[in-house]
Amino acid sequence: MPSKFLVLDMFSGGGGLTEGFVRHSFDFLGHIEMDKNAADTLETRILYHNLKDAGKTALYNQYYRGEIDREQFIQMSEEEGFESPRVINRMLSDSANNSIIADLKSTLKNCYHRSDVDVIIGGPPCQSYSLAGRGKNGKKSENDPRNYLYRHYHQFLKEFQPRLFIFENVPGLISAKKGTIFNDVINGCSRLGYHLDKTAHVLNASNFEVMQDRQRIIFIGWRKEDDFSYPEFPCKRHTGTVKDLLIDLPRLQAGEGNDGIQSYRTGRQSKYLIDKEMRTEIGKVRHHQARWHNERDREIYRIVIKKWDKSGQRLNYNDLPEELKTHRNRGAFLDRYKVVDKNSVSHAILAHLAKDGHYFIHPDITQARSLTVREAARIQSFPDDYLFEGPRSAKYVQIGNAVPPLMAEGIAQKIYKMLNSSE
């Protein structure tokens, strides 16, 4: 039995799904991600894990504290014998796929002495499938070429013949283009010799102890000759609230904070933070910088928070005082302002957070601002030692598009057991 199973990671993003499989000791043939910032994040995180496994986190901590820059961190890691992971920063396309596949097959042959992988994981960008995206963009969404990125996934299934695969996406995939996308995903896998349930399995991240109400379709397929079945995932309900998740982070007014290291507000941790090992070993935290907001928006935020705290009701835009209304459209998107529920789980963190924070307002009325990168990352279950590369907007996008690591870890655990049982 191999000590590790081999994974090909597609549409990797900033590495949320990847993180779950790394934690369960899967080995990676490579990672494919078109966005440069996300690819850099993935490279940084995998180097962190490699250094940690070797007991050399001191080097990573230097980078985290800002004592060395990223170029020095990569170079010093290589000098310590840790090569950069195989992160392929390219867009999948009919013209690019052949060279990517050839490079990966060469690595398979020369480094692993095999022609296939055990698992392929990933999910194509989901904006064109999301109900919110379709509602805002209409025909533009219908004709979005990203609707068909799953066909590249089919090509890699054919070329690398994994035992199992995980294909993740938004529930809107079920109804996208009147169900034709959903059926094409399944039928394409079936033609390649894989079994895939024709009933969509929609899982909620909150059942994996993520502090967030986040639904995702998780397709799990396997070769038809294998005697597998879709795993049963236990319902592990969260043991705390968003307040427990954010309680130790420095309180910030709009525009305060920075992307560098800051001390935790308090040494005291909630049970959830302790159980999920959220805080860093160096006792400092990064990516905690509040957006600047004008006073009109901050006043709206206070009204939104006050209404939610008092009645548990969301604000209708038309209920704002006239002097605070600036949008001419008074018939659509009336829930454009939304506070995170401090007494339960958050609503789903989305990549739209990169554009404005109106839909992700911090629950503390004394702060009256939107979530920082670190707060959004915590709600997604990323630990504080997880560094995101690129400008702030890119960090928000990576976090919003990610599979929460705790959810990914639960999925990876089941996949490992399925593969291990057949050895």
Encode pLDDT of 72-113 as tens digits: 999 999 999 998 899 999 999 999 999 999 999 999 999 999
Name the residue among 116, 32, 60, 121 with its Cα closest to residue 409. Answer: 121
The boundaries of every CATH 3.90.120 domain in the chain are 242-401
Task: Tell me the chain's radius of gyration from C-alpha atoms.
Answer: 22
State residue 130's pLDDT score: 56
Q: Phi and psi at residue 164, in whole multiples of 5°?
A: -135, 155
Residues with Cβ within 8 Å of 227's Cβ and at least 6 positions away in sequence, in order, are 422
202's enclosing H/E stretch is: strand 202-204
Residue 333 or residue 45, greater confidence = 45
Q: What is the tens place of the pLDDT at every residue in 344-397?
A: 999 999 999 999 999 999 999 999 999 999 999 999 999 999 999 999 999 999
Q: In the predicted model, what is the mean pLDDT of residues 279-285?
A: 94
Name the residue among 266, 267, 277, 228 with its Cα closest to residue 384. Answer: 277
| Least confident stretch, 87-91, 145-149, 398-402 | 145-149
pTM over cut 0.85? yes
Beta strands in 231-283 (DSSP E): 257-258, 262-263
What is the set of active-site residues? 126
Residue 274 or residue 145, greater confidence = 274
- CA–CA gap between residue 259 and residue 62 (Å, rounded): 15
The domain made up of 6-236+403-421 has a fold known as Rossmann fold (3.40.50)
50's enclosing H/E stretch is: helix 36-53
Contact between 299 and 265 under an 8 Å Cβ cutoff? The reply is no
Q: In the predicted model, what is the mean pLDDT of residues 165-179?
A: 92
Q: What is the CATH number of domain 242-401?
A: 3.90.120
Crossing angle between the packed helical segments 57-64 and 70-79, to the nearest 10 degrees:
170
State residue 136's pLDDT score: 53
Residue 127 or residue 335, greater confidence = 335
State residue 1's pLDDT score: 41
**How does DSSP classify residue 112?**
I
The boundaries of every CATH 3.40.50.150 domain in the chain are 6-236+403-421
By CB neighbour count within 10 A (0-12 exposed, 13-18 middle, 19+ buried), where does 323 fall? Answer: exposed
Query: What amino acid occupies position 418?
Result: M
Share of the chain above pLDDT 70, in %: 94
The structure tokens listed for 330 are 């008074």
